[in-house]
Chain A
Amino acid sequence: MNLIDISLEILSNAFLAIGLIFVFLGMLGLVRLPDVYNRLHTTTKIGTLGAFGVMMSILLKVGFSPIGVKAVTVGLFLLLTSPIAAHMIGRAAHRHGVCLCQESVIDEYEKACALKNKE
């Protein structure tokens, strides 16, 4: 085992650790934050980087073999699809009348929806 292999191994493990820490924080946020919209913040943003970190770790471990390339593809698709999923969940929740939490200071979307329903 030469120096490059060892350093790749260490980097791969570091990426795995970073990814797992962020996934853990995302789940912690899911439990701790008050309402749907705030929870979506943690699951989309942190979920993306967490999964991306794990995928990068796979790439560094196996190199550009079929598994590594597929891992990168999965990471890129996550980057593209997780915001769309968040947008759909958020909009559906708002249309079903899920209120914002007590601490919320402003809701301009509510006003726009009310204006549209009146017309």
Chain B
Amino acid sequence: MKRYISYAVILGLVWCFVHGTISFNNFVLGLIFAPFIIRPFKPLYNFKQDFSFGRAIKKIPAQARYFYVLIKEIIKANIIVAKIVLQPKINIKPGIIAVPIRTVTDLGITAIANTITLTPGTLTIDISDDRSVLYVHCIDASDPEAVARSIRNDLERYVLEAFE
């Protein structure tokens, strides 16, 4: 029930944003629609894990910090790729490397994979079957260890704080 309410609140907010006018009436309308969306797609939502409102609220500062880092990294990534594209002669050493990850939940893995794709010079291709290794295409793979280390120490720390 708790999870139903929390998902309904999120979907109500999404409905407000999609509709374009953020008002109490719209939010309530979204709240009423939400169970009809959640019910048929129940396997997609995570109902097994226990859930508490307190923990969800406690994570908000970490998530805000994560989004700040994400936006900073996206801008950096764009400048780096733009530089590569504008070189007169394209000189790159691409390759696919394996990066071990520590996140275990679905949400955490999705977050780290999306973050890797949006950050400089890396693009997630696939995950291994036991969900412990991500295969990352790297635009500069001359030093695979350094790339893996930078992902583990830098990005993954924020993801672990925000979503695990």
A: which residues have CB within 8 A of B?
22, 25-26, 28-29, 32-35, 37-38, 40-42, 44-46, 48-49, 64-67, 69-70, 72-73, 79-80, 82-84, 86-87, 90-91, 94, 100-101, 103-110, 112, 116
**Is B55 an interface residue when CB atoms closer than 8 A count as contact?**
no
Is B17 engaged at the interface, CB distance under 8 Å to the other chain? yes
Whether a CB of chain A sits under 8 angstroms from the CB of B74 is yes
**Which A residue sits closest to B85, measured CB to CB?**
A29
9 contacts between A and B (CB under 8 A): A38-B139, A42-B85, A46-B78, A66-B19, A69-B17, A80-B114, A82-B117, A87-B125, A109-B125
Bound form: Cα–Cα A66–B95 in Å: 44
CB distance from A47 to the nearest CB of B (A): 10
How far, in angstroms, from A44 to B113 measured CA to CA in the complex? 13
B85 touches which of A33, A37, A64 (Cβ 8 Å): A33
CA distance A64 to B16 in the complex (A): 13
A46 to B114, CA, bound (A): 14
Task: Among B78, B126, B142, point to the contact of A87 (Cβ < 8 A).
Answer: B126
Tell me whether B22 is interfacial, beta carbon within 8 Å. Answer: yes
Q: Does B103 contact A (CB under 8 A)?
A: no
Residues in A neighbouring B14, C-beta threshold 8 A:
73
Indicate if the CB atoms of B125 and A70 lie closer than 8 Å: no
* Neighbour of A86 across the interface among B19, B93, B95, B117, CB < 8 A: B117
